[in-house]
Amino acid sequence: MDLIAFSDVYGDFDVLKELTVRLGGDERIFIVAGDIGVTLNHQQYFKIFSLLSNSSKHVLYVPGDTDIKDLNINLPNVINLDRNSLLLEIDGVKLGFLGLGGAPKHSVRESESLPNIYDESIQMVRDDVLISLKTNLEKVMLNRPDYLILVTHSPPYGITDRSTPVTLREIIILEEILYDTIGYGGGGKTMMNPRRLGSRAIKEFVEYCKPDIHIFGHIHKQGGRVLREGDTYFFNVSHLSPIPYKLTGRKFLTVRIDGKRGFRYFFDSLVVKELYFRDFLEKYL
C-alpha cells in the first residue's frame, strides 16, 4: 500500500486533478498535511475531498493555518486527524495515525490574520497541545500498531523548519536581522537565529513518542527534504501548489509500506521535464 503525502495546496483543484490522473487507480492512502485551501467555503472543500476520495482507499488530513479550524467533510473514507487518532489495518499491517493541525504563531507574519494559529509561548496552550497528542497516542498504541505515523501541519522545531532565503532581497533582509540581534555587552558576542519556524510543542512530543514516520508541511522552502533522527523519518511534504514557486512546487511524497519488513520512500514532482524547451517555458514560467 502506498501513502501519498502532500501539503499546501491552497485550493488548487487543477493540480490535484493532475496528481490523481498521474497516479491512476485507487490503491493508496492520501495524507494531506494542511493548507488545503485559502478562503474556501465548505462546498469548495467538499469538491477537493471528493476528488481525493474517489481516487483512494482513505483520505487523512489535518487543517493548516489557512484552513477552517473545525474542518469536517462528510465522506465515509475522509478522516480529520487533527487532535485525533486512527488505526488502519491493511493486508495484515497495522498503521497507527495521529495528528495536529494549525501552526504556531511565531511561524507566520504578524500582519497575517489566519484562522488556525496557536500561541505556544503561552504555557497553557502548549500544555493543551501536548495533552491532546499524548492522549491520542495512548489510544492508538492500545492496538499495537506496526507503524506509528504522526501527521502535523507544522514541522517540529529544528527539523527542516528553516525559512532559507533564496533571493538577493531575502538574503539582505536576513543579514540585517542577524546584525540587529548581535550583542556587544560584557557577556561577549551572541547571535540569535530568527528563522526557525517549527513548533517546540511538537518537538517535545516527537522526542517523547518517537514515531516511525512524521509527515508535515508549512515551510515551503524545505519541501522535499527528508531527515532521519534515531528511528524516526521526518518528511517535509511542502508544497503541491505551484504558488508561489512554479518549478519548486508540485512536490509529493510516496511511502511504500512493504508489509512488516519496513518501507521505502521517494519524492516526485508533477513538473514534466521531458517537454520541448518552448513548451516547458509556456507551461511553467
Mean pLDDT along residues 68-86: 94
More confident call, 247 vs 80: 80
On the question of pLDDT at 141 being above 70, the answer is yes
Average pLDDT, the chain: 86
Please report where in the chains the cell 493532475 appears, as a residue: 18
My answer on whether omega of the bond before 239 falls inside 30° of 0, hence cis, is yes
The predicted pLDDT at position 163 comes to 79
Burial label for 31, CB within 10 Å (0-12, 13-18, 19+), is buried
- Which of 195, 212, 238 is the last residue before a domain boundary? 195
Q: Are residues 96 and 237 both part of a single domain?
A: yes
Q: For residues 38 and 114, what is the distance between their CA atoms, to the nearest angstrom? A: 10
The predicted pLDDT at position 260 comes to 85
The predicted pLDDT at position 110 comes to 80
- Which of 140, 175, 195 is the last residue before a domain boundary? 195
On the question of pLDDT at 283 being above 70, the answer is no
Q: Are residues 169 and 155 both part of a single domain?
A: no
Q: Are residues 68 and 88 both part of a single domain?
A: yes
On the question of pLDDT at 82 being above 90, the answer is yes
Q: Are residues 68 and 184 both part of a single domain?
A: no
Q: For residues 249 and 243, what is the distance between their CA atoms, to the nearest angstrom? A: 7
On the question of pLDDT at 193 being above 50, the answer is no
Mean pLDDT along residues 77-88: 97
Question: Where is average pLDDT lowest: 110-114, 116-120, 141-145, 263-267?
Answer: 110-114
Q: Are residues 72 and 177 both part of a single domain?
A: no
Q: Are residues 126 and 254 both part of a single domain?
A: yes
Amino acid at 23: L
pTM score of the predicted model: 0.87
Domain assignment of residue 33, given as a range: 2-160+199-284
Name every residue whose Cβ is closer than 8 Å to that of residue 214 and which is 6 or more positions away in sequence: 149, 150, 151, 152, 156, 159, 206, 232, 233, 234, 235
Give the residue among 1, 130, 7 at the shortest CA–CA distance from 57: 1
Residue 245, domain CATH: 3.60.21.10
Q: Are residues 175 and 274 both part of a single domain?
A: no
The predicted pLDDT at position 195 comes to 73
Number of domains in the chain: 2
SS3 content of the chain, % helix, strand, coil (to 5): 30, 25, 45
- Which of 147, 180, 195 is the last residue before a domain boundary? 195
Q: Are residues 21 and 132 both part of a single domain?
A: yes
Q: For residues 215 and 278, what is the distance between their CA atoms, to the nearest angstrom? A: 36
Q: Are residues 98 and 127 both part of a single domain?
A: yes
The predicted pLDDT at position 17 comes to 95
List the end-to-end C-alpha distance of the chain, in Å, as a whole number.
35
The predicted pLDDT at position 281 comes to 57
Place 274 in a pLDDT band, splitting at 50, 70 and 90. Answer: low
Place 190 in a pLDDT band, splitting at 50, 70 and 90. Answer: very low
Beta-carbon count within 10 A of 106 CB: 17
Q: Are residues 168 and 215 both part of a single domain?
A: no
On the question of pLDDT at 177 being above 70, the answer is no
C-alpha cell at 64: 493548516
Q: Are residues 139 and 227 both part of a single domain?
A: yes
